[in-house]
Amino acid sequence: MSHHARHSPSRAKRDLVCAAAASREALLTPSPSGKAAAWGTDSHWILEQALLTDTPCTHINVPAEAPHDEFDPSDWDEKQRRAQFAFAYAQRVKAQAGGPVSIRAEERVYPGRWLGIFDDMDGSVDITIITAIMLEIVDYKSGRMHVPATDPQLKLYALGMVLEYYVEGQPLPFTTIRCTIVQPNGSDPEAVRSVDYTFQELYAWLTDVYSPALAASNGPDPVATPSEEGCRWCECSKQNTCRELATTALHQITQVEQPIDATPYLPEIGGLSDSELCKVLDAVPLFEGWIKNVTEHIFNRLNDGGTLPGYKLVRKRVGRATWTEKDDKKLRSKLKNKKLPIDVYAPRTVLSPAQLLKALADQPDKLASVKLLTHRPEGGLKLAPDSSSSPAIVPGSGAAFGITDLDETASTETPAQPAQSAAFSCLE
């Protein structure tokens, strides 16, 4: 598990959409990692140990010493299960290669060297697979948020690995460079997503797209460009230090020029033009993200003993009852001692299609037969910009359609994501 350099591949998307993000983040103390990040770090550690020892993830036990500061041994079985999905994928590629295969774990790469940058642009590749004809970069994602295989992070990882084999004027030992996302618990039903490139295509992207963005980021006066995608993980957004984000969010959502310290004026919806309505829809994810950060900032201030006139902390509703015994086997034993029938406290139920299909992901024959027993109904309708890759739907007469979501996808490269919720744990 490694540090994050100023321009590490994992920050590439921010460099591409907001020139000021890197320099401004460098002035801030990083926020503590959340539970989800620590959970993912644990699962990645399991995968790394499995690859280094060529042992299934299910055989990697809780370590005697914590491998990182936020280590938490709870939920170990699920961490193993998701990591095993990535491990099994690498093993399948190896079995199907039909020749020598090298599989590496947590390989450190330095893609900035293509641009003469030797610091602040390194990162670690989860899995690197090298065959006689292909270099494959595999990025394991343990969370749910969709990441496309075209993500710039993987492109930089791939370019960093190519450096090991590149000799000017000589052909590379492989003809294809594959970037793969393995995400067993993601929102996309396709848990494995891949895109193939040639070296020439990746190098052209580096010089024509990424290098100019990097130059703007390191320039004398980088410009902040707030966006839902760029601000989602940015420290400036988390810590509410980005003035441009606040003023842009207020202006776009209200369509009225107003100072940050004014009470927002919300115009009548019926009085907005089509162009203004589109701008409001475009701003929804950005505005919700800003509200989330403001709310969490105020909650943390009060929770640390501070005050804010007009607001206070109160108790939320009493939570649902939970078992005091956390060990499943001991709990079953105690309930059994209460003379309860087993079907009362531990009824057998059929897994949902999603649960069973994920469980059979590494057994393609069984997976195909079980899929024949499932049905995926069409989803409801949702709003999306014209740039979305999804085809437009024209409702038929008499059909009952319900708007269920707002698809904020802004390009065909990044799949649709559910808009962030404005309800947060720190609110009543």
**Residue-wise pLDDT tens digits, 74-124:** 999 999 999 999 999 999 999 999 889 999 999 999 999 999 987 888 999
Number of Cβ atoms within 10 Å of the Cβ of 190: 12
SS3 116: coil
CA dist 380 → 117, 165, 284, 397 (Å):
48, 49, 20, 16
pLDDT at 249 over 70: no
Angle at 84 between CA 79 and CA 86, to 5 degrees: 110
Residue intervals in the chain for CATH 3.90.320: 9-217
Amino acid identity at 27: L
Q: Give pLDDT tens digits for 376-397.
A: 787 778 777 777 777 888 776 4
Mean pLDDT of the region 234-262: 67
Asked if 327 contacts 76 with a C-beta cutoff of 8 angstroms, the reply is no
Which CATH entry fits the domain spanning 9-217: 1.10.1060, 3.30.70, 3.40.50, 3.90.320?
3.90.320
pTM above 0.75? no
Mean pLDDT of the region 123-150: 94
